[in-house]
Amino acid sequence: MTTENQYAMQNPVTQYPQPGFPEQPQPAPGSVHKLKPHADHGETSYKGFGRLAGRKALITGADSGIGRAVAIAYAREGADIVLNYLPEEEADAREVVALIEAEGRKALCIPGDLSQEAFCQTLVSQAVQGLGGLDILVNVAGKQTAQKAIADLTTEQFDATFRTNVYALFWLCKAALPHLPAGATIVNTTSIQAYQPSETLLDYAPTKSAIAAFTKALAKQVIGQGIRVNAVAPGPFWTPLQPSGGQPQEKIPTFGAETPIGRAGQPAECAPLYVLLASQESSYITGEIFGITGGTSIA
């Protein structure tokens, strides 16, 4: 496995660890340091080219997983960043801050619960104040808790999943749009679950369908203002979300094996797509959903 240079030609099948992984239960929301094997967020592999120089980004779920990889990539492309995460994820978030600041970029931490509308509004206003504006909103944070039967899925969990995954997206976009100039971008995170739902994710999968539809509708509404809206649809990615309740423990050893590539994706493999969609290189792309699934179709 070679990850020190993401641009060196490699066999994608063997580039990163393949199943099986050990069962490794974690309490939610999980930590990157308890993952076995460790995930690659681009800490040593991502090289930037200044594609987001001077940009101001708000990233949710920025402490771990895909959000962590996006924050690292954006900083190395020249952006200043506001990181949002849950208060209990502070230790992981501080590591990301150090990586951002090592690139000479500004990193502001605003922890809090996205399932609360008032906090979402505060998050955006503090981000705008702290960065002196906002031109990229990246919605990554999400709640995923597997349940084997509908009888085990409580109304409280169903409501919490929708509030975190869908309502927060709505609140953040609504609050951010008055501050976004022409040329700004919103990048949302849906999932392969929107197209091929798992039987254990009866609440999570429909939230991802909602995000896909929301993205397409909002893109049409705001393109007249010069604002683009797209979404990334990851397949199985190796993040703390999975062993901390996102998957049944018996599925962890073979997680990602069902993809044509035969392994789970690493967050560092997702970040370049978020960079592209935030950069001017994607100026003719809006209202699109981009699958990054290891070869599994989202059609």
Active site residue ranges: 204
The set of long-range contacts for 258-263, using a CB threshold of 8 Å and a minimum separation of 24, is 258/296, 259/235, 259/293, 259/294, 259/295, 259/296, 260/294, 260/295, 260/296, 261/12, 261/13, 261/294, 261/295, 262/13, 262/18, 262/19, 262/294, 263/13, 263/16, 263/17, 263/18, 263/19, 263/294
> How do 136-138 and 56-60 pair as beta strands?
parallel
CA-CA distance, 292 to 285, in Å (whole number)? 16
Question: How many helices and strands in the chain, by DSSP H and E?
Answer: 7, 7
**What H or E segment, with its residue span, contains residue 107?**
strand 107-109
Distance CA 242, CA 78 (A): 31
